Structure 1
């Protein structure tokens, strides 16, 4: 058995002959003959004798291809990917087709013009401009399908460009493609591309489109595809869970009023609309507006009314159109005094919380409709409720009042099914918001489902028929009103409610 040569760490990992330095070429060939270099392709060697050759090629593909095909243009699907995909790379160069086979990499050389205006230098290669790779991926014919992107992928990319950059920039891109097509003799490809772009803009027939996302855009209902991935993650998680049935216990009389009062109090407190409980009682039960806080007072009152009265309390939507109308209606009620926030109107600019950017304003209605499809497909009412809350929260369709609207939408689904509504007390704020953030940022639905089923069980554990001061006392002993989340935790009423510090 021969002794395997060790990698010479003094040499670069890749070496090339044919660069015009005869002495360097002789040295490389001598080292290769001595077994100190491994040949990867004609004129391409590596000093790494330990790693699989395909791994070396993958690490250094750009340097290798730049050496083998200088001046070539990464085009077709490689112009979009800008890297090998599934071990293939497409380079436009010269006047004859050929294939270069390296360990782990097949390079398809396609005859065609070199760099044109807009193509970007990429080591000793060029990267096709956006206009060029769009046109190239519109190519059809025998043997072309392997090197072009599927039309649905192109439609998604074009929809993204239209959504992010707007119609003006989208039209500029189409004009650039038209000019380049004339220059490169790609009029046939431009005709196909123009049909797709026109359909997305609504100026051509949508029958030219193939994908669901592009068809939704053409129908005037574009949606955020990344949010649909999150919706589907939660949808699958909810379907896989056996969720508890927590029957409602505060449906009439004093119990219903008490429940609605604390639901509205805490829902506003989480959003920063903070009052003493006594002040909130004056607003809700005595019609008193707190001096200098008229808008805040109406926030509390509007949320209470939505939690108490039909249709907002217990008549959730049965269709996508009704769902959009219901959301606008309840947001208008809650935010009625904040005219600067456009109550009940879809946001007209993008919004965010911290680093979380919510759905773009032009995608709100389409994304809500897609979310509603998943809500309706869930059998369990608690699952539908939790899905509803996340969809509204994740879209954030209004300028303000999104959290309150989302929780009211969730609770309406629960009330309609005869299940207890959910109260999220101040002390549970982070236990509620952090799982939402985890779902948004990491597509992990488990913490959200766990947190919401726990607070659901906590909510129903109280006797809402008792006088409100007594109920307040029990909630207080269970730390419901505490803001110091480091030193206080949620306590269930059946446990001795002592302050834990």
Structure 2
């Protein structure tokens, strides 16, 4: 029993009554109280398994709730072997229909509830259902069920999905599921594993049938970013790429983009390498990384090219990556990854889903109005998919700045001192679905880059030094806008 929950059986009724009168307890439901009198809704959100399990022991989490394993939009759908019941808790409605109790494969949870097996949940989500009073339908729509089938294939694999299909079919009669629903489920699973073709409104399953399956969870995250960009304030720093003011910007763009990925050169070394071809002793491959990046970002024709289709987007990305990493043939420059990759706790899109996810993400670009919005979105799209064995960060920033150059906007550089702010903002969206920090970070980086005079290397270097751009990422002196005091940096907390 959770410490915050008190059941009527735990104490005499007179004691409970006095504690309620003194404000020490608040009633959540018949026979259930909490000591957290100022956060009853929060208690229900955290302890719903214990509370509902006490009210309806042996009920099974099924129907729509089975896919998430819990409440959906404030509603928990259950099946239990006695009469139907509706319970309204603070912040949670519990809807239990009459049906079979726990069956083979259902998982017993702490507190008294059961989680429906995958096959039972699939079968029960084929039952006819309709939305009632603005609540979600109890069972999935046809398209939602197809989306879930596609997700189960991604998560559990083909062999497990076949097993779910067979067991759902065998269980259908016990669950009183219409034969037509099971037939449709079989068609969806067949389409997912490639043994048949069906018409479907599920974008995920349709893409899989076209040969470009994608990571639907990542695409939802892309949608979050697109929506946040729509709501964000306008961002505009016009820049003619042929204006002499931007002459040496490509050099610093390539320099910083490589530095923050660990390919570190002293500024004088980088200058000699890029402009005179002098490679520091023993650093041939690192030198190729820098000069390859510079070759792409210094080509105004290349940097003015943006894709008009998902296929073209992937080809542009592959071509630019092949130039950036030309000096590292063992990293397969220009070839999409064949082995899964990760960074710390972040696991990127699976190799078999990489191209499809890039294409699905690109389709969202049509919803964005400005070069700034497209640039932010494109950078995150490539970074989140991580489609190559190496060089993904550099490729992502090249694709970002190509959108800005094509839209006659100032590019964005990520100085050394701003590295952790930038990477932290990416993690905030990847791990917590919060796009606000990334938008804020790149807005500041855009403001910053547009304020620097890149007419010549001497002037630019002086201004970059004055604004702490070359400081280490953990320096107490943060990046500041030109002309501001040391306290003029952006607050990304």
TM-score by length of 1: 0.78
Post-superposition Cα deviations, 1:404-436, rounded to whole Å, max 9, x if no partner, equal: 111111111222222222222212222322222
Distance in 1 between residues matched to 2:305 and 2:394, nearest whole Å: 17
Q: Which residue of 1 aligns with 2:25?
A: none
1:77–1:90 contact (8 Å) kept in structure 2 = no
Distance in 2 between residues matched to 1:459 and 1:76, nearest whole Å: 52
| Alpha-carbon RMSD | 4.1
Match of 1:345, SS state, is: coil
Indicate how the Cα distance of structure 1 residues 14 and 346 shifts in structure 2: closer, same or farther if over 3 A, else same.
farther
Match of 2:161, SS state, is: helix
1:138–1:193 contact (8 Å) kept in structure 2 = yes
Q: Which residue of 2 aligns with 1:193?
A: 185
Indicate how the Cα distance of structure 1 residues 107 and 258 shifts in structure 2: closer, same or farther if over 3 A, else same.
closer
The higher radius of gyration belongs to: 1
Distance in 1 between residues matched to 2:139 and 2:463, nearest whole Å: 66
Indicate how the Cα distance of structure 1 residues 485 and 199 shifts in structure 2: closer, same or farther if over 3 A, else same.
same
Is 2:56 the partner of 1:65? yes
Match of 1:206, SS state, is: coil
Q: Which residue of 2 aligns with 1:359?
A: 349
1:90–1:147 contact (8 Å) kept in structure 2 = no
TM-score by length of 2: 0.79
Distance in 2 between residues matched to 1:75 and 1:485, nearest whole Å: 49
Q: Which residue of 1 aligns with 2:84?
A: 99
The equivalences for 1:215-254 within 5 A come to 215-239=206-230, 240-248=232-240, 251=243
Distance in 2 between residues matched to 1:484 and 1:108, nearest whole Å: 54
Post-superposition Cα deviations, 1:202-251, rounded to whole Å, max 9, x if no partner, equal: 322221x3322222222222223333333233323333422123323664
Distance in 2 between residues matched to 1:353 and 1:165, nearest whole Å: 23
The equivalences for 1:66-465 within 5 A come to 66=57, 75-77=62-64, 79-80=66-67, 89-91=77-79, 93=81, 98-100=83-85, 108=96, 110=98, 112=100, 115-122=102-109, 126-140=114-128, 147-181=138-172, 188=179, 189-207=181-199, 209-239=200-230, 240-248=232-240, 251=243, 258-465=248-455
Distance in 2 between residues matched to 1:256 and 1:221, nearest whole Å: 40
CA drift of 1:121 comes to 3.9
Distance in 1 between residues matched to 2:250 and 2:94, nearest whole Å: 66
CA drift of 1:90 comes to 3.9
Distance in 2 between residues matched to 1:363 and 1:405, nearest whole Å: 18
Match of 1:247, SS state, is: coil
Indicate how the Cα distance of structure 1 residues 225 and 300 shifts in structure 2: closer, same or farther if over 3 A, else same.
same
Post-superposition Cα deviations, 1:47-97, rounded to whole Å, max 9, x if no partner, equal: 75999x99999653212322xxx6x65554465565576666543538xxx
- Unmatched runs of 5 consecutive residues or more in structure 2: 21-28
1:248–1:421 contact (8 Å) kept in structure 2 = no
1:248–1:460 contact (8 Å) kept in structure 2 = no
Post-superposition Cα deviations, 1:295-354, rounded to whole Å, max 9, x if no partner, equal: 111000100000112543221212221111000110111011212221111122332222
CA drift of 1:359 comes to 2.5
Match of 2:157, SS state, is: helix
Q: Which residue of 2 aligns with 1:490?
A: 479
Distance in 1 between residues matched to 2:364 and 2:385, nearest whole Å: 14
Indicate how the Cα distance of structure 1 residues 119 and 473 shifts in structure 2: closer, same or farther if over 3 A, else same.
closer
Match of 2:268, SS state, is: helix
